[in-house]
């Protein structure tokens, strides 16, 4: 089950989904999904807030083609955000990622759990090093504010 969820998630991340990305994310999420942010103390509960955080993370962590990860590897994404490892077991997946944003190396993991119907019920993000967490915290805050103001307009 997790294999098809991860495949659909990777298609979204790598821009292989035609149409509305947020609608594609919505289709993967359970109504009761819980999102654990690396920079917010309390778990974020529900589909709407999880979509908001995932969309903001996608915009914040995309990286730039000139910001190649420090290992010099490239999976065809031009040096931006990329997954480097994938571990699947039962209804859970761990996807390690790296990117470089504003000249700072970012390394982290997405831990995803789905239910028996193939909907994501938990999405947990962890990031290192500390400089990256601080930078992501600032960028995510700005992106979330921008997205929320865009919805209000």
CA 10 to mean position of chain CA atoms? 10
CA atoms 130, 131, 134, 139: torsion sign? negative
Best CATH choice for the domain 2-146 from the list 3.40.50.2300, 3.40.1210.10, 3.10.450.50, 3.40.630.30: 3.10.450.50
Cα–Cα distance measured from residue 124 to residue 115, given in angstroms and rounded to the nearest whole number = 15
Between the CA of residue 134 and those of 31, 64, 116, 124, 139, what are the distances in Å?
A: 30, 18, 36, 18, 9
Q: What is the pLDDT of residues 101-148, one digit of tens each?
A: 888 899 999 999 999 999 999 999 999 999 988 888 888 777 778 777
pLDDT at 12 over 50: yes
pLDDT at 7 over 60: yes
pLDDT at 21 over 70: yes
pLDDT of 138:
82
Which sequence spans correspond to the domains of the chain? 2-146
- The pairing of strands 92-101 and 82-89 is antiparallel
pLDDT of 141:
77
pLDDT of 77:
43
CB count, 10 Å around CB of 131?
11
Q: What is the pLDDT of residues 40-63, one digit of tens each?
A: 889 999 999 999 889 888 877 887
């Amino acid at each position: 089950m997790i294999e098809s969820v991860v495949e659909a998630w990777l298609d979204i991340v790598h821009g292989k989904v035609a149409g509305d990305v947020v609608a594609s994310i919505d289709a993967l999420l359970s109504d009761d999904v819980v999102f654990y942010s690396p920079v917010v103390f309390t778990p974020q509960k529900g589909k709407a807030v999880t979509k908001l955080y995932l969309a903001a993370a996608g915009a914040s962590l995309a990286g730039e083609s000139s910001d190649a990860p420090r290992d010099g590897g490239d999976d065809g994404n031009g040096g931006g955000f990329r997954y480097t490892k994938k571990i699947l077991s039962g209804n859970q997946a761990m996807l390690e990622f790296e990117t470089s944003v504003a000249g700072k190396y970012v390394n982290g993991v997405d831990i995803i759990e789905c239910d028996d119907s193939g909907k994501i019920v938990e999405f947990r993000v962890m990031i290192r090093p500390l400089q990256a967490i601080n930078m992501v915290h600032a960028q995510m805050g700005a992106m979330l504010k921008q997205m929320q103001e865009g919805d209000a307009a």
